[in-house]
Amino acid sequence: MRSVGLGPTLPRPDAPVADAVWWIDPMMTHGSPTLDLSYRIVHELPGRLRLRIPALGAPGFDPDDLEDWMDPLGVVTSARASCGARSLVVVYRESAGARDSVLRRLDAYSARIEPGSAGGGSREAEIAPMVTAAATIALLPFLSRPLQVALTVANVASTLGTGAETLIRKGIKVEVLDALAIGLSAARGELYTANITDFLLALGNFLERRTERQSDRLLRKLLRPEPAMAWVERDGELTQIPGDQVMPGEVVVVGTGETIPVDGRVVGGSALVNQAAVTGEDVPVRKEAPRRAVSGSVLIEGQLRIEATQVGAETTTARISRFIQESLDKRSDTQREADRLADQRVYLTLGTGAVVYGVTRNLTRLQSVFLVDYSCALKLGTPVAFKSGMYQAAAHGVLMKGGEAIEHLAGVDTIVFDKTGTLTHSELAVTDVVVLRKQAGCTETALLALVASVEEHASHPVANAVVEAARSRDLQHISHGEVDYLVAHGLSAEVEGEHILVGSRHYLEEHRGIAFEEHAEQIARLEDEGKILLFVGNGHGPVGLIALRDTLRAETRETLDRLRAQGIRRLVMITGDRRQKAEALARELNLDAFYAEVAPEEKADLIARFQADGSRVAFVGDGVNDGPALVAADVGIAMPRGADIARATADILLMDDRLGAVADAREIATKTMALIRGNFRAAIGINTGILAGAIGGALSPVASALLHNGTTIGILFNALKGVRLDGETDGSMSARLAQIKDIVRR
């Protein structure tokens, strides 16, 4: 037995997990009413648990919330709650510690429920109207006429009441038309028609709400923060505490099957980590020092010691969760236009019905016309498609701030890249080691070893790149005397009796009197190639050059080609580098334009100039000084290693340090908008056909309701299914298609 209060606790050593029963300790609820959140394992197979949870049958408990809670756990493949059986079935991938992780996850759910604050029993509330209508239809043949009328009135009263309330509060909406159609059938004594129509409307509403909620669930399921417990090294011992209580700088130990509770840096151990819940990567990755670890990831095998850098509300999963929640509340121009057109078509339907009745005096045709509803497919299909696109993007490492970001990205024709950290990696790399003065023992290897031995005392990016180049070649350290460092110029040291100078050309020539003029041709060639030069000299004159360059991302050229193929008219680079260097890179990448030696405050002005020419601009950046440009652009895209201000002001965040994600995002955006337009045309075309059939008397009210709801459900299903990237295989989409099929089963 274990006692659970308002926070997760540890199992007693003498309590086997398999026999555990959980409950809320009544002494810890402070007198507030609460649900019985105990459970017990009633059946178990390898990779599958069935648990009995009495609370699932209680009023006010939302089974969807429990399923949502279990889904993000890395080892869980499916979770299904049954209110009737008061049970939860969890299917998970077998691995060491996976079973215990499932039970701990359920414990965390119990701990997060505040007394009296469980969900609203939404599933039962949605199903009840269908059950009532179906029972009414089944009973009608066995009742007398007065009882049939009474039962029908009781069954359709809710629909009629909703219509009247909508008319008073909101005006003429689709609920008013539904109430009129059903009310007319009942008033004319067409009891079967009234009840069957009411059942079809209830069924359609149920499926529409479930589908819309599932589009939200797909996102929250992917990105919900994991309330993991953490084993922390304190005073030489391991102590388990809630993950949000870990302090920055503390070392957390994570074992097989456990969830990483913090963002941090690996300082020990080696492990295979599943990051799917955070980055969408299907393939586990190996982590070891000094790689970065992300909260919400699950260890498949091995053990890690992680120094916490961001904890609690500052972890990746917590920030992403807030980002997504804010995104769900944002409405795009397309959504607002869909709502406007949907409302217009309610009046169209009402007016058409009035004309039909005026001409034919046929109430049956009037009922059929009133049951044709454009608004559901238009109003629901658009946001569901946007949310599906957001989910698809997140699964490919891209976070979009709502439908507006998708809409705007689909419409851009110009993409402006800040060079460093986007087209190139932020780190420099040594490309050339040039010996200028031949002397005994002075080879390229010896020169690199010499400069690295001196530069290791500096901390700037150039020095780091030189030292890393020497390490990668296993070059030995060369002993030297004390190093003198002149900020922003260079440094010097005594090496084997020689005074070695390393730094900028200006430093060596102007301050030290070492002329490099006779090597001007070699220097010009390297600078024309866009490389940074480190000059080396001694008391006898120039010794050598070390050339460095930003590391061009391997996928940069392919990404730019993909963007052109997707209809991007102009690709532009902005950089603070010298014109010569920027021009070399622009030629190499075949860019349409470049702007060099740009001050940070000028970036936003350049964006505004493009927009003044009628261009719709996306800006990709990652720095503190990119914030104004990200805001000024029609769409701001922030790289994953970007500064906090860049990430806060961007419309789109890349979760993976991969430039190809920009092309993925653009492709998803354009296909999502195409899907919305296709669904819009289908909704208008099909419902217009149904309306024509109703006007002509070819469709009864029941047939009209059936066809309309079938159309709406089909459009919603198509919107939820979403889009697929070019080249994406059936296998890579199998998980998402399985989720869609699960909706149908429910």
> For residue 288, what is the domain's CATH number?
2.70.150.10
Tell me: pLDDT of 187 over 80: no
Instruction: Note the pLDDT tens digit of each residue in 390-418.
Output: 878 877 878 887 778 888 899 999 999 98
CA angle 254/258/261 to nearest 5° reads: 65
Total number of domains constituting the chain: 5
Tell me: pLDDT of 452 over 50: yes
Lowest mean pLDDT among 440-444, 601-605, 621-625: 621-625
Claim to verify: residue 529 and residue 573 sit in the same structural domain: no
Structure tokens at 127: 């199903």
**C-beta separation of 519 from 386 below 8 A:** no
Claim to verify: residue 56 and residue 84 sit in the same structural domain: yes
Claim to verify: residue 375 and residue 334 sit in the same structural domain: yes
Give the CATH number of the domain where residue 87 resides: 3.30.1360
pLDDT for 561 equals: 93
Helix (H/G/I), strand (E/B), else coil: 598? coil
Long-range contacts of range 502-511, CB-CB < 8 Å, 24 or more positions apart? 502/451, 502/454, 502/455, 502/534, 502/535, 502/536, 503/534, 503/535, 504/534, 504/535, 505/533, 505/535, 507/535, 508/535, 508/537, 508/542, 511/486
Structure tokens at 521: 């041709």
Q: What is the dihedral of CA 558, 560, 562, 566, to 10 degrees?
A: 180
Return the percentage of the chain with pLDDT > 70, whole number.
Answer: 73
Lowest mean pLDDT among 13-22, 247-256, 447-456, 506-515: 13-22
Average of pLDDT values for 291-301? 80
Average pLDDT along the chain: 75
| Backbone φ, ψ for residue 327 (5° rounding) | -65, -35
- Give 572 or 463, the one with higher predicted confidence: 572
pLDDT for 583 equals: 86
Q: Which of 120, 145, 179 finishes a domain?
A: 120
Structure tokens at 94: 């077998």
Helix (H/G/I), strand (E/B), else coil: 337? helix
**DSSP tag of 507:** I
Long-range contacts of range 126-134, CB-CB < 8 Å, 24 or more positions apart? 126/205, 126/206, 126/209, 126/210, 127/206, 129/158, 129/198, 129/202, 129/205, 129/206, 130/199, 130/202, 130/203, 130/206, 133/195, 133/198, 133/199, 133/202, 134/199
Considering 71, 198, 343, 418, which one is annotated as catalytic? 418
The answer to whether residue 65 is catalytic is no
For the chain, the maximum distance between any two Cα atoms, rounded to a whole number of angstroms, is 117
Claim to verify: residue 55 and residue 99 sit in the same structural domain: yes
Q: Quick check: is 703 in a domain?
A: yes
pLDDT for 346 equals: 67
- Type of residue found at 506: H
Tell me: pLDDT of 499 over 50: yes
Claim to verify: residue 640 and residue 538 sit in the same structural domain: no
Tell me: pLDDT of 559 over 90: yes
Q: Which of 534, 551, 568 finishes a domain?
A: 551
pLDDT for 375 equals: 66
Which of the four pLDDT bands, split at 50, 70 and 90, describes residue 174?
A: low
Pairing of strands 635-638, 652-654: parallel
Rounded CA-CA distance 264/246 in Å is 11
Claim to verify: residue 372 and residue 442 sit in the same structural domain: no
Question: What range defines the domain where residue 408 resides?
Answer: 398-423+553-657
pLDDT for 638 equals: 84
Which of the four pLDDT bands, split at 50, 70 and 90, describes residue 1?
A: very low
Claim to verify: residue 268 and residue 288 sit in the same structural domain: yes
Average of pLDDT values for 629-641? 83
Helix (H/G/I), strand (E/B), else coil: 484? strand
Average of pLDDT values for 12-27? 34
Tell me: pLDDT of 537 over 80: yes
Lowest mean pLDDT among 114-123, 131-140, 321-330: 114-123
Claim to verify: residue 286 and residue 303 sit in the same structural domain: yes
Claim to verify: residue 572 and residue 544 sit in the same structural domain: no
pLDDT for 454 equals: 84
Rounded CA-CA distance 544/554 in Å is 29
Q: Which of 314, 346, 369 finishes a domain?
A: 314
